[in-house]
Structure 1
């Protein structure tokens, strides 16, 4: 059970770090480095950030089910990341970072959903057995 706790903790920390990294990447890209300038890109930034921002309370609370739902949403971001890598030279570097962050977040959130729920179930069973 200690091994499961360590796995859940590592994947949760990785999820939070890559989640924050993805938000920072969007902010830097759309507010500073975008090849079209920084005019009205705040709307596109909001379209990228707001769906992810809806997961902030559940990510911080460590709910495994919310991590699983985040994985479904991340599939759309993954498609866009691959398109950013393959579409133009201007977005290639952004797309590589984007793909790496989305893949890391997806994998760690998926593993946390699995290991976190297993740990919660085993903890609950152990607590019930001790009572």
Structure 2
């Protein structure tokens, strides 16, 4: 049984949009920052995720590879936040899970789509 690239792509998109929604909700509604303006926190948290978005939606293998690299930033942030802040461990664990979905989805999509060509 072989895995089709479309399944990996769907996993990557679920991780991408889930991570985007989580970051927006976490920083605005669920636990907004009291030390920094919310707009600044959103700018820093969401902007790296938006950089490869157009290519990811167009299924560009190069952009998908960059999305995999960018997802590692969110993996690191989620693991550090889960360790440091026990009150937000659930949100951080979701961030880790969604970033891994994005990473593995894009990595396997690029590999499997490259084999088909």
Match in the other structure for 1:33: 30
The normalised TM-score by structure 1 is: 0.81
- What 5-or-longer segments of structure 2 have no aligned partner? none
> Contact 1:8–1:116 at 8 Å: present in 2 too?
yes
**Is the counterpart of residue 87 in structure 1 residue 76 in structure 2?**
no
- What 5-or-longer segments of structure 1 have no aligned partner? 122-131
Match in the other structure for 1:62: 59
**Greater Cα radius of gyration, structure 1 or 2:** 1
The structural deviation recorded for 1:36 is 3.8
**Is the counterpart of residue 15 in structure 1 residue 12 in structure 2?**
yes
Aligned pairs, number: 117
The structural deviation recorded for 1:39 is 7.0
> Contact 1:30–1:38 at 8 Å: present in 2 too?
no
Moved over 6 A (4+): none
The two structures, once aligned, show a CA RMSD in angstroms of: 1.9
Task: Give the Cα–Cα distance (whole angstroms) in 2 for the partners of residues 39 and 81 of structure 1.
Answer: 19
The normalised TM-score by structure 2 is: 0.89
